[in-house]
Amino acid sequence: MTYGWALLVVLIAISALAFFGVLNPKNFLPDQCFLFSGASCLEPYAGIKNIFGFDVVVFRFIFVNGFSYTMKGILIDLKVNDVSIPSIISDDYLGQFPPGYTVTCMAPNKDLGSGQSVPCGYSNFASVMGVKVGDKIKGEIVLRWTDPSGNQRKRTGAFVSTVSQI
């Protein structure tokens, strides 16, 4: 056997691994959130649950205020697969959401002090979101708040998670 044949066997083996998804980089990404300096995101999760015959995808994470001041009027939205999940003002957290609706982290009249955290939950139809169990999804977190000087702030971050069955 010559080196040419050995190289051909190696290329065929690598091609087979790539074809069957073993070398897909999405398989190696852990579940994580990325926010900007002064804020953090913990415990990202995405799961699908069947509610009254509809597959509903649920997203959740914990937002932590790392600024040295109180953030006022916080609104945190999530966009996944180019589908914006609109905010609904509520203090609930990941209860039985009606399909197609979402629960935002905070209401405009709520404040979050320095070092405090709040759980965030969102839901929508799985078919609308274009996700299924086992998919690795990436979303955009959009955070809006008012600083102590009264300035309106807006920053974005990233959400990465593998969809599991609830």
Residues in the chain: 166
Mean pLDDT of 108-132: 78
* pTM attached to this predicted model: 0.70
CATH numbers and ranges of domains, the chain: 32-165 (2.60.40)
**pLDDT tens column, 48-74:** 888 888 888 888 888 889 999 999 888
What distance in Å separates the CA atoms of residue 31 and residue 95, rounded to the nearest whole number? Answer: 22
Q: Which two tokens stand for residue 81?
A: 């697969």
Least confident of 21-30, 40-49, 128-137: 21-30
